[in-house]
Amino acid sequence: MAKRKVFQISDTLADGLEETLSSAKNYSGELRVDVIPLKKIETDPENPRDLALTIDDIYNKVAPSDPDYVRKLQEINSLESIANSIKDQGIINPIVVYKHGDKYRLVAGERRTLASILAGKMDIQAKILDSKPNELKISLLQWIENIERSDLSLYERLKNLEKIARAYALSKNIGVEQITITELSQLIGCVKSHALNYRAVLNADAQIKALIFANKIKNLEKAALLSGIQSTVAREHVISACLAGATLKKLKTMVEQSKSTPSLRLPRPSLKQGRQASSVNLGSTKNRDVAKIIIDSVLKNQALAHLRDQFQQVDWSDYKTVSETFNLLLRRLEELHV
Amino acid sequence: MARIIVNATHKGGEGKTTNSIMLAEYAALVRGLKTLIIDMDPQANLSGRYIKMEYDPAYKGGKIPALHPDYEPEIDEDWDGRSSIANIFYGEEVIPYPTSINNLELLPAHSIKLQDAEAVTKNEVVEKVHLQLKRFLELPDVQKNYEIIIIDTPPSKGPLTIAAIKAATHVVIPAQMEQFSIEGIFGMLQLWKQETYSRSKDNPITLVGILPNQVRDINLHKSFREDLSKRKEIAGYLMPHTIKKRAIYTEILVENANPKCIFELSKKDVARNEYERACDYIMERVLHHG
């Protein structure tokens, strides 16, 4: 019997067909990528902007009478290098816009848009959304766009993150501080350890946020570490070290040490219930030298000379030891003055 | 909103024209839908089925539509009496021709005018050609007058085919189960994919599917069809119906054939049943699923 002929579509061709169909199915409507005229792009007046420079400024040149003249020229300068690479190679990632009348409004890619105009381009590649995305979606898109930028400051990331968190919390009807690490890591697409840091910074108090916004704290891990310190004193201490340029490792060590130090508590207003005070609070200090001075001075008293031996080998650099030493002195003095 | 079905594949001889004819006649005759059939192919074969095409005195081998039945030389001073779909590219009025089939009207081809439109290369002109058919079919008069619009395309990926794809709401790819044909499907899918990316959610272009055409009872055709249906992503787009290679499908295209239309054959006829099932599948998708 003659052998039956076998025919087969090549895998390459079948794979190609399959990939084409699945990508068209998955992205149609979601992801319209098209080339649109730059002239039709406008910024969204409802979105806060970082740049003073406007699209009009690039088309019509900045007038010297402009109150932001110097700042705008600086911004143009900073766009020159992107503009040059756009001249050579165009943009790599499309910008994101949504349709607004016969114009397109920017969601992400303001710098790329301005630089493309600067480069003398007429059109730009854009992902086109059908309508204005909600606050959460916009802030997430901006996050994704921005995260690829290496020069993005902690300040810019935090600002972006605050928008995401607010929008997300609103959509879930919860407070920003109730957002879990898992939720945050899924929202912005990062590992949990990273999300942990972001959440710490997100929930940091006004003082730390102010330092980040003033661009004085630039490192996420450091900022997260600082936000986690409970004791006010220790915190002041670590913050000033951080501002002085201490490394993350050094700061971590400081935080560890501070945990073993009795912290100064702010006097809490309380209702007096008529109970007589029965002890004297000798106070507390974060200056170990002061403790040493007090102890040394007391021991100089000839009447106490016999106690000096007990205070010989003290590690004056360790808060815990110093505290214990001071307590020991108090107990000995009490024994002498019953 | 009128549904606009384009039969497209850039390889020739796959059955685009025959399939356009069958779908249009099915829509008009069997479903009773107000139907317009548009011939975008400079070869003008489809036009010749419904109206008399004349050889173009200005262009050897080219064809132009016969005078329109409504043309009255005494009154229509600013009209030469002929109308074709090519007019849309030249800023001229378009007047559909009636056909012998109830509910079916035709916008015929005009060889040289279509070829000129197909041959444009200047960027800004190409863009205009691409969008012109869409603009025309979006006119309220067109939308109001037709429920189904069928477009037959030339065997190319040029401006006319792109114009048809841009105007379409649904795409049908007729293809033989053979090597070159399946390569042709791949090329057409790329074009379709590109177009889906530029559509918004409320204006999608739906791929109804690949219609295995001119299938013979040979090992090659069976194996290729099976291969395609084994792939999960492709299987969903492979129509569950096939059209066999039958003499009747070309016989009814002959002038003076009797009957002239496959849907006028006996209801028990195998060929009629086969094509009617395929058309029914396509029309159900077009009318009721996206």
Q: Give A-chain residues touching B178 at CB under 8 angstroms.
A: none
For residue A39, CA distances in Å to A59, A81, B124 come to: 10, 22, 17
Fold of A134-228: Arc Repressor Mutant, subunit A (1.10.10)
Q: Is A215 an 8 Å CB contact of chain B?
A: no
Mapping DSSP onto H, E and C, the string for chain B reads CCEEEEECCCCCCCCHHHHHHHHHHHHHHHCCCCEEEEECCCCCHHHHHHCCEEECCCCCCCEEECCCCCCCCCCCCCCCCCCCHHHHHHCCCCCCEECCCCCEEEECCCHHHHHHHHCCCCHHHHHHHHHHHHHHHCCHHHHHHCCEEEEECCCCCCHHHHHHHHHCCEEEEEECCCHHHHHHHHHHHHHHHHHHHCCCCCCCCEEEEEEECCECCCHHHHHHHHHHHHCHHHHCCECCCCCECCHHHHHCCCCCCCCCCHHHCCCCCHHHHHHHHHHHHHHHHHHHCC
The answer to whether the CB atoms of B234 and A16 lie below 8 A apart is no
| Count of the separate structural domains present in chain B | 1
ipTM above 0.90, yes or no: no
Q: Which of B268, B224, B274 is nearest to B249 (CA)?
A: B274
Question: Do A14 and B196 count as a contact with CB atoms less than 8 A apart?
Answer: no
Taking the CA of residue A10 and the nearest CA in chain B, the distance in Å comes to 9
Same fold, A21-133 and A134-228: no
A2 contacts chain B (CB < 8 A): no
CATH topology of domain A21-133: 3.90.1530
- What's the gap in Å between the CA of B72 and the closest CA on chain A? 43
Say if A20 is an interface residue toward chain B (CB within 8 Å).
yes
pLDDT tens-digit profile of A211-221?
A: 888 888 888 88
- Average pLDDT of the residues in B162-174: 95
Whole-number pLDDT of residue A151: 66
Size of interface A-B (CB pairs under 8 A): 79
The answer to whether residue A23 neighbours chain B at the CB level (below 8 Å) is: yes
pLDDT category of residue B124 using cuts at 50, 70 and 90? low
Residue scoring higher pLDDT (A66 or B176): B176
Q: What is the pLDDT of residue A193?
A: 83
Domain boundaries, chain A: 21-133, 134-228, 288-336
**Overall average pLDDT of the B49-63 stretch:** 88
Q: Which domain holds residue B92?
A: 3-288
**Residue A253 in this model has a pLDDT that exceeds 50:** yes
Considering only CB atoms, A21 lies closest to which of B198, B199, B234, namely B234
Contact residues of B toward A, CB < 8 A: 182-183, 185-186, 189-190, 192-193, 196-202, 204, 207, 219-220, 223-224, 227-228, 231-234, 236-237
Q: Residue B200: pLDDT above 50?
A: yes
- Interface contact flag, B228 A17, Cβ < 8 Å: yes
